[in-house]
Amino acid sequence: MEWLHLRTIVLPAAGALLILLVFLDVFLTVLFARIGTGIISHPLACYTWRAFRPLSGLFPKHRAALLSLAGPLMLPILVGVWIVLLVLGFALVFYPFLGTGITATSGPTPTNFGIAVYFAGDSLTTVGAPDLAPRYTFLRFTHLICSFTGLSILTLTLTYFLQIYNALQRRNTFALKIHVASAESADAAELLAGLGPEGNFDRGYPQLAEFAAEMTSFQESHHFYPVIFYFRFEDPHYDASRAALVMLDTVSLIKAGLDDRRYAWLKESAAVSQIWRASLRLTAELAAAFLPLGDPGSPPPDPPTPHDVERWRARYYAALRRMRQAGIQTIANEEEAVDTYLDLRSRWNHYIVALASHMVFPMEVVDPATANPAASDRRRTFTARLRDVG
């Protein structure tokens, strides 16, 4: 008798804690909407991705396609976990009262836990179990809360899905805009050449300012709906690390590659500063939230290796050659300015490498301009654009 009395307190209390846990996670994931705050949703997304990585490696030919399923599957998995925990929580609340506070409308009342799960599940779907009915006021009120919870979760889930796919569409649109603006090369020098043809950035500055605004929106989309980070498409230009790299390299080349006198207004502009800050915030937040080892920039990373320095130098000089081909006046003292480029690059490169690796993208795909600097010298001259758009 003592156990029967105790279970009417312990089991409902445990069930209430499960229900509150789900409520809190739904609030933090859907309503509060901040990166890394979900008690269930955030770890679940991270562990789902970590499971997909080795599993997809078993099928090398189809690995990219399998990895692209991870993001979309995280959403029904999360909703399924919420539903299972809610059903289990309400079942624990109802279970001690089967046969007393909850009775069958006809015949004897089953008292096993499966019936409690059945009653909770039916109540949660707002259908209601017609063969069972609560008799106590407390249980009727709990039954009403259960039904209201099911309706609320359904509504919030549908709204959340719509918001995620809207944010994903905006993210992909911006990433594709960067890709095509760089002539599908992922080369910031190519993007700058298009923004300042014949060295005139006056006409291209509004587009640069648009990039700044959209990069800020890009960062905030990942901040509000972080699960979109794991929507990995087979095309690398949709990846957040690729978009951030092109934007950060664009600013680095503006600061370290353009002539100080002619382009001082551009170097000091708000748009350039906004692109830099938004891109760095994005990479730092994503790294801190999703990388298993946390933010690779805290503590400060080791200095770049001599091999990295050599690669970055080659990339810098190749970029300047390409910009000069476009009629852009580059900085007079390249030997001093290359140190500025190396310093700027050392502030963000470790983030890009870590994020790309986490998303199973090789760096030569994310950053082809650095992997093969000489490729820019083999591109068509810019005068070819006078008669051709290819």
Q: 123 with 150: CB under 8 angstroms?
A: yes
pLDDT tens by residue, 155-211 = 999 999 999 999 999 999 999 999 999 999 999 999 999 999 999 999 999 999 999
Q: What's the pLDDT score for residue 33?
A: 86
CB atoms within 10 A of CB 390: 6
Q: Is 381 exposed, middle or buried (CB count within 10 Å of its CB: 0-12, 13-18, 19+)?
A: exposed
Q: What's the pLDDT score for residue 132?
A: 85
The low-confidence residues of the chain, meaning pLDDT below 70, are 1-6, 126-129, 390
Spatial distance between the Cα atoms of 133 and 100, rounded to a whole number of angstroms: 10
pLDDT tens by residue, 93-128 = 999 999 899 998 888 999 899 999 999 998 888 666
Q: What's the pLDDT score for residue 1?
A: 47
Q: What's the pLDDT score for residue 128?
A: 60
Q: Half-sphere exposure of 189 toward its Cβ, with a 13 Å CA cutoff?
A: 30
pLDDT mean across residues, the chain = 93
Q: What's the pLDDT score for residue 390?
A: 61
Q: 176 with 236: CB under 8 angstroms?
A: no
The pTM of the full predicted model, rounded to 2 decimals, is 0.92
Q: What's the pLDDT score for residue 293?
A: 82
